[in-house]
Amino acid sequence: MCIFAKDLEFAWRPGATVVAVSEFELRLGDSVFLQGESGSGKSTLLGLIAGIIQATSGELNVMGRPLGAMNAAKRDAFRADAIGVIFQQFNLVPYLTLLENVLLPCRFSPPRAARAGPTNASRKDAALGLLDRLGLGAEAREGRAVSALSVGQQQRVAAARALIGAPSLIIADEPTSALDAASRDSFVDTLLEEAKDASVLFVSHDAALAPRFDRTESMADMNAAFAPAAKGA
Ligand SMILES: Nc1ncnc2c1ncn2[C@@H]1O[C@H](COP(=O)(O)OP(=O)(O)O)[C@@H](O)[C@H]1O
Ligand SMILES: [Mg+2]
């Protein structure tokens, strides 16, 4: 199992629960499309799964690791090793080149670096290979700065950075919201192809993408299904 959540609850403020998931599972190698209205708690759930924030209550295991029992430093290290995250705003580092951005996770995680390649040169080749398949090989070889890329190109850099060193789980938070329909479809197809050995959790409000995934979950349904003991009492 890649993700297992049970009675998972999170509130930004006391009494204002935004995530209340009775059960959620993502098996190794599966891809899930998580759909939901703006404000329904999708990004918060991804933050919990990525270990950026910690649940108020309940159980959350990622790759068998109980995130609730890990401190922030352990969760950060685990995220660097095992999870590739694509943020809505990309979070690329503007003063690094395109290639340096893609190789960033290898600097934070020795296991991830080792999976990308045994030497700096081989890791660079792995990054260039990924960028070639994402249609950015020429820009990377030119040493292009990320600030000199279009939004669609930046999104593909963010995808390459998430994929480098084969993390077990890829999390994507509305990565296509700035793309037109044709770029959106080809971005998702390339991402799923490159991540075919990983589990993928992809969040969007755009239902047109759902058929490309193994399964669809609705944030509203997941939240509605939760009935904590306190509510029934
Ligand atoms: N950092 C934060 N601090 C306080 N409240 C937040 C924060 N992030 C999100 N929220 C609130 O949590 C709810 C769910 O937000 P979010 O998870 O971002 O939803 P979605 O990604 O589905 O649009 C919203 O009501 C939002 O205002
Ligand atoms: Mg969001």
Distance from C-alpha of 45 to C-alpha of 8, rounded to nearest angstrom: 9
Q: Whose CA is nearest to atom 10 of ligand 1?
A: 12
Model confidence at 72, pLDDT cuts 50, 70, 90, reads very high
- Cβ of 40 below 6 Å from ligand 1: yes
How do the domains of the chain map onto residue ranges? 30-55+74-218
Model confidence at 80, pLDDT cuts 50, 70, 90, reads very high
Of the chain, the percentage scoring pLDDT greater than 90 comes to 87
- Cβ of 39 below 6 Å from ligand 1: yes
Residue 9 CB-half CA count within 13 A? 18
User: Average of pLDDT values for 213-225?
Assistant: 92
User: Average of pLDDT values for 174-178?
Assistant: 89
The predicted-structure confidence for 49-71, as pLDDT tens digits, reads as follows: 999 999 999 999 999 999 999 99
pTM reported for the whole predicted model = 0.94
If you measure from the C-alpha of residue 9 to the centroid of ligand 1, how many angstroms do you get, rounded to a whole number? Answer: 14
Q: Any alpha helices (H) in 69-227, and if so which ranges?
A: 72-82, 98-108, 110-116, 120-133, 137-141, 151-163, 181-194, 219-224
* pLDDT given at position 225: 72
The superfamily in CATH containing domain 30-55+74-218 is P-loop containing nucleotide triphosphate hydrolases (3.40.50.300)
- Cβ of 36 below 6 Å from ligand 1: yes
Q: Where do the DSSP E strands lie in 36-89?
A: 57-62, 65-66, 83-86
If you measure from the C-alpha of residue 43 to the centroid of ligand 2, how many angstroms do you get, rounded to a whole number? Answer: 4
The predicted-structure confidence for 89-109, as pLDDT tens digits, reads as follows: 888 999 999 999 999 999 999
* For residue 233, pLDDT beyond 60: no
